[in-house]
Amino acid sequence: MDLKVVEMETPEGCNLVLGQSHFIKTVEDVYEAMASSTPTVKFGLAFCESSGERLVRVDGNDEELKKSASENALRLGCGHSFVVLMRDAFPINVLNQLKVVPEVCTIYAATANPLEVIVAETEQGRGILGVIDGQTPLGVEDEEGVQWRKGILRKFGYKT
């Protein structure tokens, strides 16, 4: 077995969701979940088929994000994994809808941070072992940090 680190590439101003699924129907169901989650979302999704023709299946409503999602999925190369890139929405707007898609098994990451995926490769194929989402903490928030956190949530409209 070989271990690899695959860097995901997220276009400027985008968030990425990385997950595991179990069936080709994922492409259409994830599309529907994304499109119905919030009216402003622009997205591309790519799904790594793990049997049959073993293609990266692609859909979305934004050509740039579809291309980027497919490039990420192909580079990752892990069967039944999927990548969603989104703009004009945050993961918090879509995660519940994605989690209830019947084919979705796991969400590994939902982030705008730099993302590295730890991949194991065997003779059979590749699988995701885990992710490195962003960087290591530098300390613990103080009162100023608490006020900033509370302020940013209210600025984004998530708290009143």
Q: Residues 6 or more apart from 29 whose CB is under 8 A from it?
A: 101, 102, 103
Domains along the chain with CATH numbers: 2-155 (3.40.1520.10)
pLDDT digits (tens, 9 = 90+) for 35-66: 999 999 999 999 999 999 999 999 999 999 99
pTM: 0.92
pLDDT digits (tens, 9 = 90+) for 9-35: 999 999 999 999 999 899 999 999 999
> In this structure, are residues 44 and 70 in contact, taking their beta carbons and an 8 Å threshold?
yes
